[in-house]
Structure 1
Amino acid sequence: MKISFHGADREVTGSCHLLEAAGKRILVDCGMYQGSRELDEQNGDDFGFDPASIDILLLTHAHLDHCGRIPLLVDRGFSGEIITTAASRELARLVMLDAAGLQEADAERRQRHAWRRGDKDGQPLYTTLDALNAMDRFGRVARYGQPIELAPGLTATFHDAGHILGSASIRIVQEGDGGRSVIFSGDLGNSGRPILRDPQPPPHADAVVMETTYGDRLHKPLGPSVEELYAAITDTFARGGNVVIPTFALERAQEILYYLRAGVESGRLPRTLPVFLDSPMAISATEIFRRHTECYDPKERALFAQGGDPFALPGLRFTRETADSMALNRIRGGAILMAGSGMCTGGRVRHHLRHNLWREDSSVVFVGYAASGTLARILIDGAKSVRLFGDDIPVRAHLHTINGFSAHADRDELLAWHTAIKPDKTILVHGDERVMQAFATRLSATEVHMPGNGDAITL
């Protein structure tokens, strides 16, 4: 077995790892870089391998930084099979189509400016048609705990990673003399959260390729984080303002809806609480969540079986149409506006920020990861004003950063998962280099590697 590394190596996004075994070239994830403009520009670079040479792509889950470059891979020659879980297949379609639409819109804007400069640059990374073509490459559906043959004597088994709906860690085993086994962690979930099951560590493997996003810190407990959310809403309504929640469409939007429903049912929030989910992608993702209760923990699955709905709120309104989204900006107070993107790099949330950031009575509540260089991070770091749609907007709203909702395992959960597997060799990826170094000091009885982009390791 040989593994080469082509993304999320000493950085947090762009997961892409190539395994060569049993005469097959197997790609694990093909994600998009996210964050600064420099990272965005990396998405169009060469992959570091020939896409046409890849036989199989195994997708751990449907977040953009794990599936976002699949249409580009197909456009550049990949014609093999993509294998993932049923839920990840549906979510990946949604994510790739959304990304294509955003890239086409951005390219159109760039082209308008380019024509005025007299040139014709500004092409999208890929188009909606490319995203649809990529769906034709999806083949067999993986089920947790059931091996799938990739080649004679070579199998892959998906194990529940508890991160988002359908997420998986993948254990690949090559049998026979000198056989080896390796686990790709994907992104590991934060235990004890609602809706999804906790991560399930796979059996022992010789090596593990492991994410380290939060490998140097512990998360705030979930209970106090939920109370902090309720307090932020209550205080804002008392001031007469709106609550803007920049929302990741997959998992985070559904989790916040879950806790808002629980807050209404417990009396912590008013029964008439007006909540607007202003994200076509999050609305579609919520519908996909409702279809895949096989991924739920037993309590929530039983609720659905009894006719309940963990996302149902009396005052919940879905706003798919642009005109309906624009109308929300006329609401002066007393509403919760959930909109993408979670890092405020695009989407409808930027319009809501434009109309609420300057208001002292309103609040912006960040409930997810904010990468360096994103508008969310700029606000969290204390900017006094930000530029939106050509205007300088003063930041007067109350800003809340609630870290306990993370969908990622923290340091101790990562260590527990690693200890359960007992690998001989540990390869750290998908994390800031400083964080990796800190996490590596806590690993014992294992050989630790931190590869750079283009590096290769033979097992």
Structure 2
Amino acid sequence: QPTIEITKIALLDSAKLMVEDAEKKRKRHQKEGRKGPYPEIPLYEVKDVEKVFPLFEGVAYNEEVKLSPKVKIVFYDAGHILGSSFVKIFANGKVILFSGDIGRFGNPILKDPTEIENSDILIMETTYGDKIHEDRKIAEEKLQNIINETNKKGGNIVIPTFAIERAQEVLYYLKKLLIENKIPHLITFLDSPMAIEITEVFKKYFSYLDGEAEELLNKKISPFDFPLLHFTKSVEESKMINHIKGSCIIMAGSGMCTGGRIKHHLVSNIERKESSIVFVGYQAKGTLGREILEKSEVRILGNFYKVKAHVEKIDGFSAHADKEELIKWLCSFKKIPEKIFLVHGEEEVINEFSIIIKDKFPHSQIIIPSYLDEFEI
């Protein structure tokens, strides 16, 4: 059920953003007297999304779902975001597990990834198959230091935030740091209508949460609220943020800076030496977030800006399992799969991870599929 609610929110948000971006691009091209390589039309609109909603059906974890007399599936908690799942497929005497995104162990708000007993074939993600995340305590201290140092300089702390899971985890840590008196009480904006809605879903389905977060919600105490936290839903409220005097914390989407309100906050802060831009999640190649990390000048909303703000990436808040956690999860299988397909990773990452697991699991066939490859299983 959490997945249904989150998916509805995400699809509606995506449709609205695409319509807005298409219109902005059309106007910019018209103003510049040129035509882009692609038509300025959205892939889908709100009316298209709403037609999909009646087709959704919620399924509980560990519950068998029969798709046909010979095929059934079971979902297991992947620990990546609220409601995320591994999918085990039973078909024609074979057992196939699709990992999707594998979550972290020890996440303060989500349960650990489910240990799987067996699977003949595994399709496994490798996003961070070549990296080891920094300890969450170190990540927490980094966030603390950035906030304190930026506050001293009078700048803003801009955090491009994924609306699902990451925003809630950052809110959790901000509240923790405030309770422990490790950071000052700064005005904090969650400037993302989608993240605000998702946070309400987290509160509603607290039984899916882990440890301390669930315990707090059981006591009617939200781990995602604290003094001076403002949820800015309207565009007008968002614009007013840039008129705030003194330091503030701005959390806005999208997490990779590819769209959304974060672009306007970047425009207002990226050339301010006293401000900080803090990335708390993966930045894919080709995204504005990756360019800010790697370049001294970037293009935002059609204009070029020098990257003068302090830029920091905190890996410890990632929702993707790192190399050691991927291996730990794989080792939890009582019977290692005969075939392991490695996907969802940059080429060099997949290659490096494949070497590691070939050595660790010599009896398994390790396969790195290419786009449109077909396999008989």
Please indicate the TM-score interval, normalised by the length of the shorter structure: over 0.9
**Which amino acid letter does the alignment assign opposite residue 164 of structure 1?**
I
Task: Please tell me whether residue 165 in structure 1 is matched to residue 75 in structure 2.
Answer: no
Is the 8 Å Cα contact of residues 241 and 332 (structure 1) preserved in structure 2?
no
Task: Please tell me whether residue 333 in structure 1 is matched to residue 249 in structure 2.
Answer: no
Aligned counterpart for 2:177 among listed residues 246, 260, 263: 263
Deviation at 1:241, TM superposition (A): 1.1
Aligned counterpart for 1:128 among listed residues 40, 46, 58: 46
The Cα offsets for residues 214-272 of structure 1, whole Å up to 9 and x where unpaired, read as 111111111011000000000000111111111111111000000000001011122x3
Partner Cα distance (2:24, 2:186) in 1: 37
Partner Cα distance (1:89, 1:196) in 2: 18
Is the 8 Å Cα contact of residues 236 and 242 (structure 1) preserved in structure 2?
yes
Partner Cα distance (1:205, 1:250) in 2: 29
Task: Please tell me whether residue 393 in structure 1 is matched to residue 305 in structure 2.
Answer: yes
Partner of 2:21: 106
**Which amino acid letter does the alignment assign opposite residue 152 of structure 2?**
A
**Residues 218 and 294 of structure 1: is their aligned pair in 2 closer, same or farther, counting only changes over 3 Å?**
same
Partner of 1:366: 279
Is the 8 Å Cα contact of residues 158 and 277 (structure 2) preserved in structure 1?
yes
Partner Cα distance (1:306, 1:224) in 2: 29
Question: Where do residues 141-220 of structure 1 align in structure 2 (5 Å cutoff)?
Answer: 141-174=58-91, 179-220=93-134
Question: Where do residues 343-422 of structure 1 align in structure 2 (5 Å cutoff)?
Answer: 343-381=256-294, 383-421=295-333, 422=336
Deviation at 1:121, TM superposition (A): 3.6
Is the 8 Å Cα contact of residues 74 and 88 (structure 2) preserved in structure 1?
yes
**Which amino acid letter does the alignment assign opposite residue 77 of structure 2?**
D
Is the 8 Å Cα contact of residues 79 and 113 (structure 2) preserved in structure 1?
yes
Question: Where do residues 9-158 of structure 1 align in structure 2 (5 Å cutoff)?
Answer: 86-112=1-27, 113=29, 121-139=39-57, 141-158=58-75
Is the 8 Å Cα contact of residues 217 and 411 (structure 1) preserved in structure 2?
yes
Task: Please tell me whether residue 453 in structure 1 is matched to residue 371 in structure 2.
Answer: yes
**Residues 454 and 236 of structure 1: is their aligned pair in 2 closer, same or farther, counting only changes over 3 Å?**
same
Is the 8 Å Cα contact of residues 91 and 285 (structure 1) preserved in structure 2?
yes
**RMSD of aligned C-alpha atoms?**
1.8
Deviation at 1:415, TM superposition (A): 1.2
* Equivalent position SS for 1:241: coil
Is the 8 Å Cα contact of residues 185 and 211 (structure 1) preserved in structure 2?
yes
Partner Cα distance (2:177, 2:215) in 1: 20
**Residues 111 and 244 of structure 1: is their aligned pair in 2 closer, same or farther, counting only changes over 3 Å?**
closer
Partner of 1:27: none
Deviation at 1:103, TM superposition (A): 1.2
Deviation at 1:294, TM superposition (A): 2.2
* Equivalent position SS for 2:2: helix
* Equivalent position SS for 2:158: strand
* Equivalent position SS for 2:366: strand
Deviation at 1:449, TM superposition (A): 1.1
**Which amino acid letter does the alignment assign opposite residue 104 of structure 1?**
V
* Equivalent position SS for 2:142: helix
**Which amino acid letter does the alignment assign opposite residue 131 of structure 1?**
V
Stretches of structure 1 that go unaligned for 5 or more consecutive residues are 1-85
Is the 8 Å Cα contact of residues 9 and 194 (structure 2) preserved in structure 1?
yes
Partner Cα distance (2:35, 2:274) in 1: 46
Partner of 1:324: 237
Deviation at 1:209, TM superposition (A): 0.6
Is the 8 Å Cα contact of residues 171 and 202 (structure 1) preserved in structure 2?
no
Deviation at 1:299, TM superposition (A): 3.0
Aligned counterpart for 1:440 among listed residues 341, 346, 354: 354
Task: Please tell me whether residue 232 in structure 1 is matched to residue 150 in structure 2.
Answer: no
**Which amino acid letter does the alignment assign opposite residue 108 of structure 1?**
E
Deviation at 1:123, TM superposition (A): 2.1
Stretches of structure 2 that go unaligned for 5 or more consecutive residues are none
* Equivalent position SS for 2:97: strand
Query: 4+ residue stretches of structure 1 with deviation over 4 A?
Result: 114-120
The Cα offsets for residues 171-200 of structure 1, whole Å up to 9 and x where unpaired, read as 1113xxx61100000100011111110101
Is the 8 Å Cα contact of residues 123 and 343 (structure 2) preserved in structure 1?
yes
**Which amino acid letter does the alignment assign opposite residue 273 of structure 1?**
L
Partner Cα distance (1:114, 1:380) in 2: 31
Partner Cα distance (2:126, 2:39) in 1: 37
The Cα offsets for residues 134-175 of structure 1, whole Å up to 9 and x where unpaired, read as 212212x2111111111113211111100000001011113x
**Residues 329 and 162 of structure 1: is their aligned pair in 2 closer, same or farther, counting only changes over 3 Å?**
same
Question: Where do residues 249-328 of structure 1 align in structure 2 (5 Å cutoff)?
Answer: 249-270=163-184, 272-328=185-241
The Cα offsets for residues 47-83 of structure 1, whole Å up to 9 and x where unpaired, read as xxxxxxxxxxxxxxxxxxxxxxxxxxxxxxxxxxxxx
**Which amino acid letter does the alignment assign opposite residue 365 of structure 2?**
E
**Residues 434 and 118 of structure 1: is their aligned pair in 2 closer, same or farther, counting only changes over 3 Å?**
closer
Identity between Structure 1 and Structure 2 (%): 42
Partner Cα distance (1:348, 1:109) in 2: 13
The Cα offsets for residues 16-55 of structure 1, whole Å up to 9 and x where unpaired, read as xxxxxxxxxxxxxxxxxxxxxxxxxxxxxxxxxxxxxxxx
